[in-house]
Amino acid sequence: MEISYHGHSVVKIKTNGQVILIDPFIRGNGLTDLKVEEEKPNVILLTHGHNDHVGDTVELAKANNSLVVAPNELANYLAKEGVTVHNMGIGGAYEFPFGTVKYTLAFHGSVYETENGEIINAGNPGGILFTAENLTIYHAGDTALFGDMKLIGDRHAIDVAFLPIGDNFTMGPEDAAYAVTLLNPKIVVPIHYNTFPVIEQDPHHFARLVKDSKVQVLSPGNVVEIE
């Protein structure tokens, strides 16, 4: 398995002959190294409906016949846009040929704004637990710190956790560092920071706050080093 980070909350996973993109916000993301026309995802996983997470999903999915896995209401909207979807709900898991996807709680909002300004109810936001090749990746999506992260950590042996640290809209560095103590992952990668002025953070400050897990601060395009 190859796991790479691509700015904001964009994560790419290559496993079982498949390319999976999580929250593919590419156009408008000044930190990403990706180009929409060069990406060929087989699968797109979405945490919630905000535009900086749904991003280029519709264009990518139509161009590549990608399967889009998303929270129920968001999936319903994307299906109307002509995308092949698999609807899921918080707490639910499903075993796909490429790996198992499970949605967790996340405390945030979830609406999508169309090009003509229409506001779409995208249902509940979520985090994603993805398991394949005996590895479990946790993408927290956009979320506040919450106590049930300990349940997630107790019930799942997390190898890599992607946690937002930008503050203002999500956890900041201090809360994210406390989340690490609840989740107990082997590796932590900070995400959702520095894309916009209001979420500017020093990821190395976050790294210094984390005591018992290995923190990898990745530049866009860097691959997670799994021992």
Q: How confident is the model at residue 114 (pLDDT cuts 50, 70, 90)?
A: very high
- What's residue 139's pLDDT? 99
- What's residue 143's pLDDT? 98
Give the mean pLDDT of 216-221: 98
- What's residue 179's pLDDT? 98
- What's residue 227's pLDDT? 76
DSSP 131-190: EETTEEEEE--S----TTHHHHHHHS--SEEEEE---SSS--HHHHHHHHHHH--SEEEE
Give the mean pLDDT of 149-156: 98
Rounded to whole angstroms, how far apart are CA atoms 16 and 28?
30
- Residue pLDDT, tens place only, 25-55: 999 999 999 999 999 999 999 999 999 999 9
Domain 2-215: which CATH number of 3.40.630.10, 3.60.15.10, 3.50.40.10, 3.40.1160.10: 3.60.15.10
Token pair 């790996």 in the structure block, residue:
99
- What's residue 193's pLDDT? 98
Coil, strand, or helix at residue 207?
A: helix
The size of the chain, in residues, is: 227
Instruction: Give the start-to-end residue ranges of the domains of the chain.
Output: 2-215
- Residue pLDDT, tens place only, 62-78: 999 999 999 999 999 99
- What's residue 175's pLDDT? 98
Quick check: pTM over 0.95? yes
- Residue pLDDT, tens place only, 180-215: 999 999 999 999 999 999 999 999 999 999 999 999
**pLDDT at 11 > cutoff 80:** yes
Q: How confident is the model at residue 140 (pLDDT cuts 50, 70, 90)?
A: very high
Bigger pLDDT: 106 vs 227: 106
HEC profile of 50-83: CHHHHCCHHHHHHHHCCEEEEEHHHHHHHHHCCC
**pLDDT at 24 > cutoff 90:** yes
Give the mean pLDDT of 10-25: 97
